[in-house]
Amino acid sequence: MNASSPIGIFDSGIGGLTVAHAVTRLLPNENIIYFGDTAHLPYGDKSSAAIQAYSIKICNVLLQQKCKVILIACNSASAAAYELVKEYVGSKAKVINVIDPVIDYIDHHYRGKTVGLIGTKQTVNSNIYRKKTDALGKDIVLKSLATPLLAPMIEEGFFNNNISESIIYQYLANEELSGIEALILGCTHYPLIKSQIDSFYKENITILDTSEIVAAALKKYLSQSSLLNNLNAYIRHFYVSDYTQSFERSTQIFFGEQIRLEHYPLWE
């Protein structure tokens, strides 16, 4: 590992691009290698064993690229595969998930308060956020709701319209989320519907954008480890396990700029 080595980021699809985008905004000099496992999306309805198998395969690709950090930019994979990936990678790279930085954030900002969480079935049913929140011992009440329609809806481009608004509002009106003071967007797709979530709550609830929190945690780690890349030139490479032109166009919406995707089948 050295400062100029790339940061590897992976997700089941394009949701992780919200994390990648936040990272490039905060760390513009860093080299980025992104892997979207589009052949197996979404991870939210997959078994833990399947997610673990996909994650290890992807990590092999990222380790071949000499990544200094592997960022699991998916809540479902963070819940199901983080410990296995960390053990598998060992000392070859630092492994960061998208859950622990959020837990650390609410530890410092929401002690004694009620916080909501929306995410995939895999993330919510794993109870990982609740276990980690309870372990803090800071009287934080966590209210969780699985919102399984949101990620595939966003993947298909249905956001910022009446269809998506109806589904989002239906979920957020659920009694399970009553009385919350902040809401964790427990899926990396969800920052793309943040404006609609803000609209539902009339901006009276703080919406915690996990992509920004995770990017800040990554910067802190690189700085403390003297691994910040100070070179002006950078490389950004984007792989997908299944390629379509429509998917490539969708990534431009997620990332905010034109991106060329390279097809990299995982199982060949």
Q: What is the DSSP string of 190-247?
A: GGGGHHHHHHHHTT-SEEE-HHHHHHHHHHHHHHHTT-----S---EEEEESS--HHH
| Same domain membership, residue 89 and residue 222 | yes
- Tally of CB atoms within 10 A around 83: 11
126 marked as part of a ligand binding site: no
Average confidence score pLDDT of the chain: 92
Domain-terminating residue out of 171, 189, 210: 210
Q: How many helices (H) and strands (E) does the chain have?
A: 11, 10
12 marked as part of a ligand binding site: yes
As a residue count, the chain comes to 268
The DSSP letter of residue 160 is S
For residue 2, being part of any structural domain is answered with: no
Q: How confident is the model at residue 160 (pLDDT cuts 50, 70, 90)?
A: low
| Same domain membership, residue 84 and residue 24 | yes
**Which carries the bigger pLDDT value, residue 24 or residue 155?**
24
| Same domain membership, residue 202 and residue 109 | yes
For residue 1, being part of any structural domain is answered with: no
pLDDT score of 259 more than 90: no
pLDDT score of 128 more than 70: yes
| Same domain membership, residue 122 and residue 151 | yes
| Same domain membership, residue 218 and residue 90 | yes
- Tally of CB atoms within 10 A around 90: 9
* pLDDT value, residue 268: 56
* pLDDT value, residue 44: 83
| Same domain membership, residue 223 and residue 197 | no
What is the signed CA dihedral for 156, 206, 98, 49, rounded to 10 degrees? -60
11 marked as part of a ligand binding site: yes
Q: Which residues form the catalytic set?
A: 74, 187
13 marked as part of a ligand binding site: no
| Same domain membership, residue 217 and residue 120 | no
| Same domain membership, residue 219 and residue 156 | no
189 marked as part of a ligand binding site: yes
The DSSP letter of residue 44 is G
CATH of the domain at 201: 3.40.50.1860
| Same domain membership, residue 88 and residue 217 | yes
Burial environment of residue 116 by CB neighbours within 10 A (0 to 12, 13 to 18, 19 or more): buried
pLDDT tens digits for 165-196?
A: 899 999 999 999 999 999 999 998 898 899 99
Q: Which residues pair with 115 in a beta bridge?
A: 142, 182
Question: Residue 32 — φ and ψ, nearest 5°?
Answer: -120, 130
pLDDT score of 219 more than 90: yes
Domain-terminating residue out of 210, 225, 254: 210
* pLDDT value, residue 162: 75
What domain count does the chain have? Answer: 2
Domain hosting 253: range is 7-97+212-263
For residue 49, being part of any structural domain is answered with: yes
pLDDT tens digits for 82-109?
A: 999 999 999 999 999 999 999 999 999 9
Most confident of 81-90, 228-237, 240-249: 81-90
CA 104 to chain centre: 16
**Which carries the bigger pLDDT value, residue 157 or residue 118?**
118
For residue 76, being part of any structural domain is answered with: yes
Closest CA to 208 of 125, 136, 103: 103
pLDDT tens digits for 197-217?
A: 999 999 899 999 999 999 999
| Same domain membership, residue 138 and residue 54 | no
Q: How confident is the model at residue 155 (pLDDT cuts 50, 70, 90)?
A: confident
For residue 159, being part of any structural domain is answered with: yes
| Same domain membership, residue 216 and residue 190 | no
Distance CA 56, CA 50 (A): 10
| Same domain membership, residue 127 and residue 109 | yes
